[in-house]
Structure 1
Amino acid sequence: MMKRIILIVLLFTGFAVKAQHNPDDQILSDNWDVVGGVDFKIVKDSEMYAVYTPEIKKHANKPFELEGYIVPIKDGMKQTKFMLSTLPINQCFYCGKNGVPIMVLVEMAEPIKFTYKTIVVKGTLKLNPGNAMDNPPISLVNAKSI
């Protein structure tokens, strides 16, 4: 359980192992820059909290759009809850190979079919100020594919 929590936290923090990413696959956007600006404060081995920038706080509880790659957290071709990444799953160190990209938890209003191509989703941006070792610090809820 603890290994899983640490993995999720690393995925959110954007810590990266030196990687050979294909730059053509990397999704770059102003909204990903907003998400990527979030930092983390480690209190102790079992506690870490997101430090939200004023920029991301402006978007909290408002519609927010991201393009990215689905990284499933459960098996199945239909996904309702997954991680959205700036890199494809085959370029994620923990999911395939290479470094750890920035990720956001997405909770869809309706299931979406898994694809290796990018998707664009729009939902309400939620910031979780609780312990990031237990819950994702950034999520898009009630999201829809656009």
Structure 2
Amino acid sequence: MKKFFPVFALFMLASVASFGQELTWKILADVSWERKYNKEYDEHINYPKFGNIVKPFDKKEVIIKGYLLPVEVEGDYIVISAFPYQSCFYCGGAGVESVMEVYLKKKKTVKAMQIRVKGKLELNATDVNHLVYLLKDAEIVEEIN
């Protein structure tokens, strides 16, 4: 029975991810880090190793709720976080797994502090010039004030 539950849980997560269901930041926290040499920067850099809980969501349509970070708020590129700006990874104790690059299908001015977005999740394990989570072909589902 012990071996059955994890396999069943992974199957259910993969099924949920394929329907564009709500993704949580807790699931996105299933990542560890390994130091590897990066030729471009001529130094060792931490690269993500995604766990078995988050892997089934790669290349799947998901919906996630996050706080808008003050980067580019007009246009087709935004960044969301699990935490409000005051608690984001570069301001406090959170990590880079708590933020996500979002590429919108259409340019939109976002005025809300918190939003729900829907799009195709990409797990980025190789490009150190981008965040580890990317949401492509995204659209804003809800603006929450």
**Shorter-chain TM-score: which interval?**
0.5 to 0.7
Q: CA RMSD in A?
A: 2.3
**Residue 30 of structure 1: how far off its partner (Å):** 5.5
Tell me the percent identity. Answer: 21
Q: 2:59 aligns with which of 58, 61, 71?
A: 61
Residues 56 and 30 of structure 1: is their aligned pair in 2 closer, same or farther, counting only changes over 3 Å? same
1:37-56 equivalent positions in 2, closer than 5 A = 37-44=30-37, 45-56=43-54
1:64, 1:127 → 2: CA distance?
13
Give ranges in structure 1 of 5+ residues lacking alignment.
1-28
SS of residue paired to 2:53: helix
2:49, 2:92 → 1: CA distance?
26
Residues 126 and 141 of structure 1 are in contact (CA less than 8 Å); yes or no, is this contact kept in structure 2?
A: yes
Asked if 1:135 is matched to 2:130, the reply is yes
* Equivalent pairs, count: 113
Q: Select the structure of larger CA radius of gyration.
A: 2
2:29, 2:80 → 1: CA distance?
13
Aligned AA for 2:59?
N
Residues 122 and 46 of structure 1: is their aligned pair in 2 closer, same or farther, counting only changes over 3 Å? same
Give ranges in structure 2 of 5+ residues lacking alignment.
1-21, 38-42
1:106 equivalent in structure 2 = 102
**Residue 43 of structure 1: how far off its partner (Å):** 2.0
Residues 78 and 101 of structure 2 are in contact (CA less than 8 Å); yes or no, is this contact kept in structure 1?
A: yes
SS of residue paired to 2:106: strand
**Residue 93 of structure 1: how far off its partner (Å):** 6.2
Q: 2:83 aligns with which of 80, 87, 112?
A: 87
**Residue 116 of structure 1: how far off its partner (Å):** 4.5
Aligned AA for 1:112?
K
Instruction: Give a deviation string over 1:82-108, Cα, whole Å, max 9, x none.
Output: 2210111133363xx543361111111
Q: TM-score if structure 2 supplies the norm length?
A: 0.66
SS of residue paired to 2:77: strand
SS of residue paired to 1:110: coil
SS of residue paired to 1:54: coil
SS of residue paired to 1:112: coil
Residues 72 and 79 of structure 1 are in contact (CA less than 8 Å); yes or no, is this contact kept in structure 2?
A: no
